[in-house]
Amino acid sequence: MIRQGLKPIIVIINNEGYTIERMIHGENAGYNDIQPWKYTKFLEAFGAKEYANYVVRTREEVDKLFKKGNEFSKANRIQLVELFMPKLDAPRALKITGKMSEMLNAKMAVLDS
């Protein structure tokens, strides 16, 4: 993208790990916590000359960023948005599926013993 001069908006959802695994194998399993990355350094590290980084943590910050007429909405350079979400933020369907998988895993463990 950078080499070709493209100007996409890249959105990284940062929930500090693997939410789907938390839903299935337990909220506090240590392997679901990943080493924090410095996502806002990516564009620079890949050699982008004209770029912008944004970090948003609240709904208000998202609304402000996406407000029409601001610098972000011009989309005149490659942009990266790091969007922070709570660790356990997931759609209801995923939470239900996770709970069912967790129950099945527990049942299989009993049968295997």
What CATH code is carried by the domain that includes residue 74?
Answer: 3.40.50.970
**pLDDT at site 56:** 98
Does a structural domain hold residue 20? yes
pLDDT means over runs of 10, the chain (113 residues)? 93 92 83 91 96 97 92 94 94 89 83 79
Residue 65 lies in a domain: yes
Does 47 fall in a domain? yes
- Domain hosting 30: range is 9-112
Q: Is residue 4 part of a domain?
A: no
Give pLDDT, residue 50.
95
pLDDT (0 to 100) of residue 36: 92
Query: How far apart, in whole angstroms, are the C-alpha atoms of residue 95 and residue 88?
Result: 9
- Domain-located, residue 1: no
Within a domain: residue 93? yes
What's residue 110's pLDDT? 82
Burial 4-38 (b: 16+ CB within 10 A, else e): eeeeeeeeeebbebbbeebbbbeeeeeebeeeeee
Domain presence at residue 52: yes
Q: What is the pLDDT of residue 34?
A: 87
Q: Can you give the pTM of this predicted structure?
A: 0.81
| Number of domains forming the structure of the chain | 1
Does residue 86 belong to any structural domain of this protein?
Answer: yes
